[in-house]
A and B are shown apart, each in its own frame.
Chain A
């Protein structure tokens, strides 16, 4: 009963190729994210979607195109892969509960996709 599942877990590809990573959550959450974790373990947000609508695009190159067919899925397509795209990509989902200052936003993460561009 995986809450947030992403596939594939490992992806090795050549420069210039196009690849996709899929993400699905079965928690009924409204918000989904993509994060990139580099070799130094820094977690940087890339995109945030709420009910299939793009909310945040953190100056990610146009080669990265997220797609949310419904609120349970947020897929990431990457065109013309570059060496610098090598990283672990995490999908996550959350549901805001409470209001005002009484807010909880627990995010659940997938197991990650290790992308290696050669």
Chain B
């Protein structure tokens, strides 16, 4: 079945620096790749997503890239701020949306 691997599991960066989280997926039928942010005591919340027909997407300080050939996708956060501290999950799903498979999560800490 579909498997999504995510690295690193923890990431600590200085405030103002960039953070990069990488994921790989196994099911070539996957065509939708969302990223979720989970703050303490809350449910995951979508922050950005990318479809398989797009190689890159940007929304202010957040960008995602997708390499379909290599089955890699990445999250880039620039000019990090304290409120970016959270657990981030990548995910993959197919057109049927019968299941959304999540990566194992990255705990991002921003050092002041």
Spell out A's residues near B (CB within 8 Å).
4, 31, 33, 35, 40-45, 48, 50, 55-56, 58, 90, 92, 94, 96, 99-112
Contacts and interface: CB of A to CB of B under 8 A. Distances in A.
B98 A101 contact: no
A40 to B, nearest CB: 8
A109 B44 contact: yes
Contacts of A31: 97-98
Given A106-B46, A107-B34, A107-B100, 17 more contacts: A33-B100, A41-B87, A41-B104, A41-B105, A42-B105, A45-B99, A45-B100, A45-B102, A48-B98, A58-B99, A100-B31, A101-B52, A102-B51, A105-B93, A110-B43, A111-B43, A112-B42
A94 B104 CA distance: 21
Interface of B: 31-32, 34, 36, 38, 41-46, 49, 51-53, 87, 89, 93, 95-102, 104-105, 107
Contacts of B45: 109
Nearest to A31: B97
Given A31-B97, A56-B98, A96-B97, A103 B44 contact: no
A117 B87 CA distance: 25
22 contacts: A31-B97, A33-B99, A41-B105, A45-B102, A48-B99, A55-B98, A90-B44, A94-B97, A94-B100, A96-B96, A96-B97, A100-B31, A101-B51, A103-B95, A105-B97, A106-B46, A109-B36, A109-B43, A109-B45, A111-B42, A112-B42, A112-B43
